[in-house]
């Protein structure tokens, strides 16, 4: 399996290390030439970092449209924190829209500044006791009816799935728990299989 990791800014190396532990090959995407033919990938990770920085670089580097198209065409995506903001169709109190492929409304810095950052454990989909690290994190305020809610913390939605897109407020890559990445790799494996059948 080949997984691309968006590496324009943020904590991309942590995702790469996580996938390496699961025996999966990754490639950093810093430029359009790194992304190349979207069909060569079985999945892509949008890491945490600053969404304003990442969104700007995506546009300047010409990655915006190819990435948006690939996700709309079904490329599995795991988006954490800033990545979730990039995917969101709408942001609360902010007219900015980045990729806009995930039909949810996301509130940036929803827990306030760094002093509001926290960790907890909660269920996420079928997974129990998932350690969740929230760093100046966003949460999801509204979801379209087709969006599956995977996790809520204190009444706020913090993890969703919509078709090929997995959006998380928290950072599984900063923990020792590999289960979220394993779920993502299952999506990627299904996608790889479908691709081969069509080919």
Partner 1 sequence: MDKQQYELNKGLAQMLKGGVIMDVTTPEQAKIAEKAGACAVMALERIPADIRAAGGVSRMSDPAMIKSIQDAVSIPVMAKCRIGHFVEAQILQAIEIDYIDESEVLSPADDVYHINKRAFKVPFVCGARDLGEALRRISEGAAMIRTKGEPGTGDVVQAVRHMRRMNAGIAKVAALREDELFEAAKKLEVPYELVVYVHEHKKLPVVNFAAGGVATPADAALMMQLGADGVFVGSGIFKSGDPAKRAAAIVQAVTNYEDADLLARVSANLGEAMVGINADEIKTIMEERGK
Contact in structure between 81 and 75 (CB atoms under 8 Å)? no
- Residue 124 annotated as catalytic: no
- Residue 89 annotated as catalytic: no
* DSSP H or E run through 118: strand 118-124
Asked if 15 touches partner 1 (CB under 8 A), the answer is no
What's the CA gap between 81 and 137, in Å, rounded? 6
What's the CA gap between 85 and 108, in Å, rounded? 7
Interacting residue with partner 1 among 14, 24, 42, 180 (CB under 8 A) = 14
Site string for partner 1, 158-197 (x = CB under 8 A): -------------x--x-----------------------
Total binding residues for partner 1 by CB under 8 A? 36
Contact in structure between 46 and 166 (CB atoms under 8 Å)? no
- Residue 171 annotated as catalytic: yes
Question: For the chain, what is the radius of gyration of the CA atoms?
Answer: 15
176: tokens are 């020792």
* Residues recognised as catalytic: 81, 171, 173
User: Which stretches of the chain bind partner 1, using CB under 8 A?
Assistant: 7-14, 30-31, 48-50, 52-53, 56-57, 60-61, 81-82, 94, 108-109, 112-115, 117-119, 133, 135-136, 171, 174
């Amino acid at each position: 399996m080949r997984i691309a990791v968006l590496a324009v800014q943020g904590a991309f190396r942590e995702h790469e290390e996580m996938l390496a532990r699961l025996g999966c090959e990754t490639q950093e995407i810093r430029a359009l030439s790194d992304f190349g033919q979207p069909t060569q990938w079985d999945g892509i990770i949008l890491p945490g970092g600053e969404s304003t920085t990442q969104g700007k670089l995506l546009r300047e580097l010409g990655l915006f449209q190819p990435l948006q198209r690939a996700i709309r065409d079904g490329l599995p995506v795991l988006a954490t924190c800033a990545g979730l903001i990039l995917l969101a169709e709408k942001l609360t109190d902010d007219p900015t829209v980045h990729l806009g492929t995930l039909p949810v409304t996301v509130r940036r810095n929803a827990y306030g500044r760094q002093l509001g950052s926290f960790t907890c454990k909660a269920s996420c989909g079928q997974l129990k006791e998932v350690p969740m690290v929230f760093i100046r994190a966003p949460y999801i305020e509204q979801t379209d009816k087709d969006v599956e809610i995977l996790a809520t913390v204190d009444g706020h939605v913090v993890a969703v799935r919509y078709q090929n897109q997995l959006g998380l407020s928290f950072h599984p890559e900063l923990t020792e728990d590999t289960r979220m990445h394993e779920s993502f790799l299952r999506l990627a494996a299904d996608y790889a299989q479908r691709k081969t059948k069509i080919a």
